Amino acid sequence: MHRKILGLESATGPKILALGFFWSAFCAPKKTDQAKRSIFERYFLELGNMEIFDYDNILLLPRKCRVESRSECDAGVELGGRKFRLPVVPANMKTVVDENICLWMAQNNYFYVMHRFDLDNVQFVKDMHAKGVYASISLGVKAPDRETVDTWAAAGLTPEYITIDIAHGHADSVRDMIAYIKAKLPKSFVIAGNVATPEAVIDLENWGADATKVGVGPGKVCITKLKTGFGTGGWQLSALKWCARVATKPIIADGGIRSHGDIAKSIRFGASMVMIGSLFAGHEESPGKTVEVNGELFKEYYGSASDFNKGEYKHVEGKRILEPVKGKLANTLIEMEQDVQSSISYAGGTKLMDVRKVNYVILGGDNAGEHLLM
């Protein structure tokens, strides 16, 4: 009889253990801790039956429509006590968002996360609050980031959202930064990432994160998998499904989105919000440099771990590309909202989370077939 096996890393080298042994010997919670037991049971069930796929390999299956018009469907989502028009957020990258874009998005009920590069974070929060909108900011995990938190606290400033944004977010440094923010600014909603595994999601939630950001290297300008051999590039949607199985708090799916339909697929497999870079880069308002090639206008778009962003070629995991200028950001957001509304109607629903109730098919490969509410 074939048994599922699992690789285990230890001080004496990798081991191959049967899943049942691994569960019973190391991870089975006490029977009295039912919530924790349920999380781990889902984790190991998923490990034993894991399917590998990405956005291009999945199609969602329609259900009977319940609305007269797609415009009746509510594409909004709640995060951190606020309702936003769409479950999308532009990537917190220098060539995707700036102060003006963030202000416009806040004023129009969209979620944003300002990047953390070459920015006066303290002044940014002051300015956003002075204009009557929420502040959503990014931080790293180093001493200057802790000093920023100290300055906010001393000035009586509380950013409504703080995203701890590093490439490998399953780290002791992130654990310590979450604790530092929670001690100084307990009312801030803390998003932490980026991560790629259920173990990481469990840890970040236990460390106090209010939401986790899932995705390591699947973005269009990310080359993590080529440079390091690690990441979720090529299987981001499957990784999202895997992580969502153990999550008890919101997940932001970060990277790998190439079309508007991928938003609905992300929601179906457990995301509450979807972070998107390339589809938001290249607008007239985008801060990337405008470049003309053979009479056509493009916007510069580069990864946060690229030498273009770092200013030096050191630990580079990103690249630079040119995105065709797409027009106005507002028009793209309207089209996205209409497309998500259409997705909801195809799901037989009236609100965003109804998309999670649909079945799906995997196209091609060993996992091909129809899957019923899995």
DSSP character at residue 57: G
Active site residue 222: yes
Show the CA angle centred on residue 199, arms to residues 160 and 355, nearest 5°: 65
**Continuous H helices in the chain:** 19-22, 34-48, 99-107, 121-130, 143-155, 172-184, 198-207, 224-228, 236-244, 261-268, 307-310, 329-346
Radius of gyration of the chain (CA): 21
Question: Whole-angstrom Cα distance, residue 79 to residue 87?
Answer: 9
Dig out the tokens for 76 from the structure.
Answer: 């909004």
- Nearest Cα to 279, choosing from 332, 352, 216? 332
Question: Whole-angstrom Cα distance, residue 215 to residue 5?
Answer: 25
Catalytic-labelled residue, pool 73, 102, 222, 243: 222
Q: How far is CA 73 from the centre of its chain?
A: 24
Q: Please, are residues 366 and 96 in contact by the beta-carbon 8 Å criterion?
A: no
User: Looking at the annotation, which residues are catalytic?
Assistant: 222
